Structure 1
Amino acid sequence: MKTFLLPDLGEGLTESEVVAWRVAEGDSVELNQVLADIETAKAVVELPSPYEGTIAKLHAAEGETVDVGAPLIDFELAGDAPAQAPDAPAGEAPAPSPEGGPVASPDDSVAEVEAEPAPEAQPEKVSVLVGHITVHGGKPTRAKRTWDVEPFVRDERATAAAPGTAKRRAMPPVRKLAKERGIDLQSVRPTGPDGLVTRADLDAVGTASAAPAQAPASTREKVTGLRKHTAAAMTQSALTVPHAATFHQVDVTETLALAKAGDASFLALASRAILLAAKRWPDVTASFHADTNELERFAHVNLGIAVSTDRGLVVASIDEAETMDALELTAQIKDRATRAREGTLSMAELTSSNITISNVGVFGVDGGIPILNPGESAIIALGAIRRMPWEHGGEIVLRDVCTVTVSFDHRVLDGREAAGFLADIAAVLERPALALAR
């Protein structure tokens, strides 16, 4: 028997949730065969088998959260010898016969043992479909069937109603109506002749008891999996990082027209604008380590794309995004969004970003102040694109305008740096040809 403990499937995770088992107790499994789908803080991953053998026991049910290092599966390994009874020690006398008959000793190996006559065959009772039969000497005999019949005697004392609690009487149509309305006839005061309950009596009671139960004022649902970890991460970020934010309304008419006319998406063009601005303001991708009071700077820009999924919010990273043009970014963004919703992103793709973009405009809102992804110093939110009057070329005309927000870690960036970074993003979005250049 070998017990498989839940491993750490991510970076310092303390627990994971069993989403679905791919095996059952008693199944034979091969090495590296997928055993279960396990949800970590970021994604659903497949758990491979570390052994070849048989599943002896599953220690958790689907939907259950298991601590890292806790027992998950018991295996009967292939090649394990079954337990055998130990051989009797040399020289030990043999156990007596269970029938109490003579037992041959080592010295009796040649002697004959007198055989005792076989005991007389006892009758055998065999159950059949109805009753039973007795087999004696190979001849079946059916037993006689008997019934104990007792006369029924009404206990008048038990059926007599107590004063004031006599069973209500009503005509069949009235009883049917009472059943449809969910009214107990015993609770109705009769007004009909001879104590009959009438339809008017039911109407007087009303149909409140028959009304469907109202929905509860509130319900509670256990927060598990990705949403639980996201809640913890956002709480830690909001409470430990001094957030600040700056806004800018940007004329994105040319960028939107370019996206509609070509193969690059608006989000990819906006990402190119962020990447170009990050070259001038490299600290927007830095990370502040409070435990050592150090600022860590990175050689590449790993762009995080915030994706809303059925399981919660996921940030998928496009590593070394500054090396890609708008068309490459369009393909990468589509790939990350698809796999994020499928839950097939790798842990590296979910943890390597150093700056994030969130396109909240797809939900129809003008903007917002996003919370920083833990370990990052800036996050950019794109609002909805609105057609509005705008000064352009010395005239008031209708233009496509988008509100861009930058939330930042005030320990890393000050207002001047954040404002300069945002202004450079706006400049590229207003002249989108720059976003297509490497």
Structure 2
Amino acid sequence: MSVVFRLPDLGEGLTESEIVSWKVAEGDAVALNQVIAEVETAKAVVDLPSPYAGVVRRLHASEGETLEVGAPLVEYDVEGESDAPAEPEPVAPASGEEPSAPEEPPPSAPPGGPGLEPDESDAVDRTEEEPAEEEPAEESVAVLVGSVKVAGGRKPKRAARTFAQTPFVREQRQPARAFPPVRRLAKERGIDLAAVVPTGEGGVVTRADLDRAVAAPSARSSHRERVSGLRRQTAKAMTAALAVPHAACFLQVDVTETLRLARDLAAEGSPSPTLLSLASRAVILAAARTPGVNATFHADAEEIEFHDRINLGIAVATERGLVVASVDDADRLDATQLAGAIAARAAEARDGSIGVAALTSSTLTISNVGVFGVDGGIPLLTPGQSAIVALGAVRRLPWEHEGAVALRDVMTITVSFDHRVIDGREASAFVRDIGRVLERPGLALARG
């Protein structure tokens, strides 16, 4: 029997998925739980196992195509009964009735109408016309369940196509007019004089015309690429983020002491914390003093959900695009454990082995844009979150230190926030708390 496997929901409320690649073809025999396709959804590529054992009868999508959850995906030929037949069955006749035989098409009526003889002049005129088309017989048309008979009607006669012939006219190129020195210069520069717009008297090409032709930018062709996969998901997420009333604040921080701490701990052996993991610890400690940065605004219920734990999202640049990988329960990890967890999540995101849950569970995000060599930026919020922290590149700058000017390691911290959840005072306090820990990391031991 035939059975249709429909695209399942591969995550928490996901509505669509893209077929990355098929692992089977039509006519292949597959076993239960055999991987039949790679499917990308919510920024993750996952293997899709077969829920049936049988023969692949039809693949309902091609590679690169996006399907809605619940859409037909694969049709199988399996042993046993099918819950959903692939093809509709014809409606059986009622009890006691004989199946109706196909009706013969009615003969065409004479031109003069029923019971009337056409006159001779009409018959002569019609001999020069095309013979009248016969009425088609009634045909059975398949519907959602069974079939119905539809009476045939006279189909409209399609007009004959005509194509207008356009004579080919060869473009006549007028010879360019230029004095011998200009012609010689054009030849040296590889310039086609006929393509230069002349400005000299009488349409003569001048030396200035050649200079402008060289300075003019050449026309470049463009191309388009279909937005799909991760790029498509990112576009949707960023479009949704623009619906949130964003605001941002900045702070330059002297991180010299934090860098020295990282070097001292690295000298003791591996594993050791990194600047990113130490900054993550500072963000976690500061979030405890400003709970609104670890919250979600539910517009439909007009409620703010404050999360009891911090699932720290780390923005990771991959070959397929940007993803946010979550380190769950990050508030329970120290800086060394955070360094290991962040590295593991980043590796999973880059090789595509990360699960959907790790891409959808973060409650607060850090974007380390400093690795790209920029001082900072205004990041857009991850949908469902109320704050995101951007860490800029560390610069060696003249800085006031203990009453004098000295070269110090300085980093810019940016916090973008949902103004429906927290206001400027709270956001400023949050970024100051982050900076205070990074400027004097010993405070985290003494005060927390």
| Shorter-chain TM-score range | 0.5 to 0.7
Counterpart pick for 2:382 among 373, 389, 399: 373
Q: How far is 1:46 from its partner?
A: 0.9
Tell me which residue corresponds to 2:355.
346
Tell me which residue corresponds to 1:13.
14
Q: In structure 2, what is the Cα distance between the partners aligned to 1:27 and 1:258? A: 60
Q: In structure 2, what is the Cα distance between the partners aligned to 1:62 and 1:259? A: 47
Q: What is the CA deviation profile of residues 220-270 of structure 1, one whole-angstrom value per residue up to 9, with x for unaligned ones?
A: 1111111111111111111x2110100000001111222233211111000
Q: What is the DSSP-based 3-state SS (H/G/I as helix, E as strand, rest coil) of the residue aligned with 2:75?
A: strand
Q: How far is 1:62 from its partner?
A: 1.4
Tell me which residue corresponds to 2:113.
none
Q: How far is 1:10 from its partner?
A: 2.3
Alignment of 1:10-409 (within 5 A): 10-78=11-79, 216-238=220-242, 240-261=243-264, 262=266, 263-409=272-418
Greater CA deviation, 382-391 or 424-433? 424-433
Paired letter, 2:262 = A
Q: In structure 1, what is the Cα distance between the partners aligned to 2:191 and 2:400? A: 66
Paired letter, 2:74 = I
Alignment of 1:416-435 (within 5 A): 416-434=425-443
Paired letter, 1:307 = V
The 3 A distance-change label for structure 1 pair 436 and 334 is farther
Q: How far is 1:335 from its partner?
A: 0.7
Quote the sequence identity (%): 62
Q: In structure 2, what is the Cα distance between the partners aligned to 1:36 and 1:25? A: 13
Q: What is the DSSP-based 3-state SS (H/G/I as helix, E as strand, rest coil) of the residue aligned with 1:384?
A: coil
CA-based RMSD of the aligned residues comes to 2.6
Q: What is the DSSP-based 3-state SS (H/G/I as helix, E as strand, rest coil) of the residue aligned with 2:390?
A: strand
Bigger Rg, structure 1 or 2: 1
Greater CA deviation, 336-345 or 396-405? 336-345
Q: In structure 1, what is the Cα distance between the partners aligned to 2:191 and 2:380? A: 52
Q: In structure 1, what is the Cα distance between the partners aligned to 2:373 and 2:386? A: 26
Greater CA deviation, 12-21 or 286-295? 12-21
Q: In structure 2, what is the Cα distance between the partners aligned to 1:370 and 1:64? A: 30
Tell me which residue corresponds to 2:150.
none
Q: Is the 8 A contact 1:6 1:69 kept in 2?
A: yes
Q: In structure 1, what is the Cα distance between the partners aligned to 2:225 and 2:417? A: 33
Q: Is the 8 A contact 1:254 1:431 kept in 2?
A: yes
* Unaligned runs of at least 5 residues, structure 2: 83-171, 174-186, 193-217, 267-271
Q: What is the CA deviation profile of residues 119-143 of structure 1, one whole-angstrom value per residue up to 9, with x for unaligned ones?
A: xxxxxxxxxxxxxxxxxxxxxxxxx
Q: In structure 2, what is the Cα distance between the partners aligned to 1:49 and 1:79? A: 17
Q: Is the 8 A contact 2:33 2:51 kept in 1?
A: yes
Q: What is the DSSP-based 3-state SS (H/G/I as helix, E as strand, rest coil) of the residue aligned with 2:339?
A: helix
Q: Is the 8 A contact 1:255 1:429 kept in 2?
A: yes
Paired letter, 1:393 = E
Q: In structure 2, what is the Cα distance between the partners aligned to 1:381 and 1:436? A: 24
Greater CA deviation, 29-38 or 69-78? 69-78
Q: In structure 2, what is the Cα distance between the partners aligned to 1:36 and 1:53? A: 16
Q: What is the DSSP-based 3-state SS (H/G/I as helix, E as strand, rest coil) of the residue aligned with 1:37?
A: strand
The 3 A distance-change label for structure 1 pair 38 and 419 is same
Q: Is the 8 A contact 2:296 2:386 kept in 1?
A: yes
Paired letter, 2:396 = R
Q: In structure 2, what is the Cα distance between the partners aligned to 1:14 and 1:80? A: 29
The 3 A distance-change label for structure 1 pair 60 and 220 is same
Paired letter, 1:53 = G
Q: In structure 2, what is the Cα distance between the partners aligned to 1:38 and 1:400? A: 45
Paired letter, 1:219 = H
The 3 A distance-change label for structure 1 pair 79 and 272 is same
Q: Is the 8 A contact 2:42 2:356 kept in 1?
A: no
Q: What is the CA deviation profile of residues 378-434 of structure 1, one whole-angstrom value per residue up to 9, with x for unaligned ones?
A: 000000100010111111110000000000011110111101111100011012245
Tell me which residue corresponds to 1:101.
none
Paired letter, 2:241 = S
Paired letter, 2:279 = A
Paired letter, 1:407 = S
Q: In structure 1, what is the Cα distance between the partners aligned to 2:55 and 2:445? A: 56
Q: What is the DSSP-based 3-state SS (H/G/I as helix, E as strand, rest coil) of the residue aligned with 2:393?
A: strand
Q: In structure 1, what is the Cα distance between the partners aligned to 2:78 and 2:261? A: 61
Q: What is the CA deviation profile of residues 319-372 of structure 1, one whole-angstrom value per residue up to 9, with x for unaligned ones?
A: 111000001100100011010111221111111111100000000000000000
Q: In structure 2, what is the Cα distance between the partners aligned to 1:428 and 1:436? A: 10
Paired letter, 1:369 = I
Q: What is the CA deviation profile of residues 135-171 of structure 1, one whole-angstrom value per residue up to 9, with x for unaligned ones?
A: xxxxxxxxxxxxxxxxxxxxxxxxxxxxxxxxxxxxx
Q: Is the 8 A contact 1:314 1:340 kept in 2?
A: yes
Q: What is the DSSP-based 3-state SS (H/G/I as helix, E as strand, rest coil) of the residue aligned with 2:42?
A: coil
Q: In structure 2, what is the Cα distance between the partners aligned to 1:374 and 1:313? A: 14
Q: How far is 1:27 from its partner?
A: 2.0
